[in-house]
Structure 1
């Protein structure tokens, strides 16, 4: 049997796999899927040192998964294009289907009982005009202003307990946060249910909504 000789085709394919082989880089890609950020913002949001964040970003740039632009003294990063976001969603779904350990880890992170089955983006799209459904964005006011689901109201998670009386008891509430591993909406659902509301979260949050091609509204 002849010895395998690395072909340029497979070497190039491996560049993408290598770029995705780091948990830190995957986290950075998820953050950039939410919008443009500086290296300082990424380091802070990811909880990673500035130097390490910068090094990881260079590897993602080398694989053409992200691009950068200069804004005065700052360098801002974003995903290279929409295809990267779509691919990330496919990767997450594929991994969840294949890896029981990933499903267990997500379950432990979100702590959503089976009976709280999240609403899918496709389900919610059909319910947007239903007056019996109220969509609540529990992200920050700034994130809401930058882009939110049509008709959603803003109730940041930190304010939810103080604003419970503003939320009706006779409507089903769909709460959402940013992405597929965001804990804010499951926490909001738990609080709402404890106070007599019918509530579920949106599976995959605003990121999944956007990845399925659904529109967002802005308040800027």
Structure 2
């Protein structure tokens, strides 16, 4: 593989936080964002706003929750984490259209993009009587 092929493949397989935010604004119903991080809930309590929480270890059993008619964006912790890449590969093998959010939640937070606190979301859903 030459450098041009490498960078073309990289751009097809990934999306930057800024590009994702812009794409989502232009076409909000086209994308399905998944937080695939593993680990205790207390360390995963901050998520990207609007993300669906499907830890990598649960993906196999929860595939029915992932829509086939949307472009799937997966993210994990940071550039050093390959969990999102593992999930992307699994989903691609099953016919999904998938990209990895580069830099994970760390890059998203570094840019001060919108996040949610899962503890507050749970408290709200309990308190509101939904």
Query: Which runs of structure 2 are paired with 1:3-152 in the superposition (5 Å)?
Result: 114=10, 116-129=12-25, 130-140=28-38, 142=41, 143-144=43-44, 146-152=45-51
Match of 2:64 among 165, 177, 184: 165
Judging changes above 3 Å, is the alpha-carbon distance between structure 1 residues 212 and 191 closer, same or farther for their aligned structure 2 residues? Answer: same
Pairwise CA distance, 1:115:
6.0
TM-score, normalising length from structure 2? 0.76
- Structure (1/2) with the larger helix percentage: 1
SS at match of 2:18: helix
Map of 2:94 onto structure 1? 195
Aligned mates of 2:114, 2:70 — CA distance in 1: 23
TM-score, normalising length from structure 1? 0.46
Of structures 1 and 2, the one scoring higher in RCO (CA 8 A, sep 6+) is 2
Is the Cα–Cα contact under 8 Å of residues 128 and 151 in structure 1 kept in the other structure?
no
SS at match of 1:213: coil
Aligned mates of 1:160, 1:116 — CA distance in 2: 22
Q: Is 1:207 aligned to 2:103, yes or no?
A: no
Aligned mates of 1:116, 1:206 — CA distance in 2: 20
Aligned-residue Cα RMSD (Å) equals 1.8
Aligned mates of 1:134, 1:161 — CA distance in 2: 17
Pairwise CA distance, 1:198:
0.3
Is the Cα–Cα contact under 8 Å of residues 174 and 200 in structure 1 kept in the other structure?
yes
